[in-house]
Amino acid sequence: MGLWDLLSVQWQTALQEIHPLVEHIDTELNLLVAEGIELAPSKPNIFAALPISPDLVNVIIVGQDPYPTSGHATGLAFSVPNDTNPLPPTLRNVMRELQADLPASNSTNYDLSPWRDQGVLLLNRVLTTEVGRSLVHLNLGWQEVTLEIVRAVRRVNPSVVGVLWGNQARTLLAEFSTERVVTSVHPSPLSAYRGFFGSKPFSKVNELLAESGQSSINW
């Protein structure tokens, strides 16, 4: 199945202007697979973070690129299968901050699809990498695709909350209303102690949602 065909009809309509770019990326990915390169995530999961329609998104959490460890990347930024052991250090830091921010959550669910099901779009800035290699698909064109995904959501939900973790994510800062955005450094071990820990992103998101009369996220 082609990459474009993995999108719902609603997303195809919303992203029509970049259809040629998605087809180009698809061609490039097929060439890599033909060379025996393992993609992360696997091709069927590249758009797994997207709900059926842009108007179902109330929060967009933006990361960097997928986990390069085989079996970790699921198509949802920061998420891994529940049986993953050990956890990627970045996700471990996310869960640590969640426990500090909202101690009552007691979440031990590392598959973050329940967040998606509540309207949280877990969007990496770059949607693919290769197993064993990080940040190798920076030049495929994914940044334009993810920019259009954010804009498609904002067209139908101008009050969407943006959570931007790290430099790659902050390139989207201008796409959100200044009063509806939460930013910090990336939760990776290299930067988490420089502003991610203690940033309380989860409670801040729920406060912003409450201000606009939207349901809080059960993190």
Lookup: tokens for 180: 């509806």
Establish if 141 belongs to a structural domain: yes
Establish if 217 belongs to a structural domain: no
pLDDT tens profile 124-170: 999 999 999 999 999 999 999 999 999 999 999 999 999 999 998 99
Return d(Cα 144, Cα 141) in angstroms, integer. 6
CB burial of 178-197 (b: ≥16 within 10 Å; e: otherwise) equals: eebbbbbbbbbeebbeeebb
Establish if 216 belongs to a structural domain: no
Per-residue pLDDT tens listing for the chain (219 residues) = 899 999 999 999 999 999 999 999 999 999 999 999 999 999 999 999 999 999 999 999 999 999 999 999 999 999 999 999 999 999 999 999 999 999 988 677 899 999 999 999 999 999 999 999 999 999 999 999 999 999 999 999 999 999 999 998 999 999 999 999 999 999 999 999 999 999 999 999 999 999 999 999 999
Establish if 101 belongs to a structural domain: yes
- Would the CA dihedral through 81, 65, 136, 138 be positive or negative? positive
**What is the side-by-side strand order in the sheet with 120-124?**
120-124, 59-63, 161-165, 181-184
Q: What is the predicted pLDDT for the residue at 109?
A: 85
Q: Which domain holds residue 207?
A: 4-211
Give, for 183, the enclosing helix (H) or strand (E).
Answer: strand 181-184
Establish if 219 belongs to a structural domain: no
Establish if 16 belongs to a structural domain: yes
Establish if 218 belongs to a structural domain: no
Catalytically active residues are 65
Distant-in-sequence, close-in-space partners of 20: CB < 8 Å, separation ≥ 6: none
Give, for 129, the enclosing helix (H) or strand (E).
Answer: strand 129-130
Count of structural domains within the chain = 1
Return d(Cα 134, Cα 173) in angstroms, integer. 23
Q: How buried is residue 175: exposed, middle or buried, by Cβ count under 10 Å (0-12/13-18/19+)?
A: middle
Establish if 80 belongs to a structural domain: yes
CATH of the domain at 112: 3.40.470.10
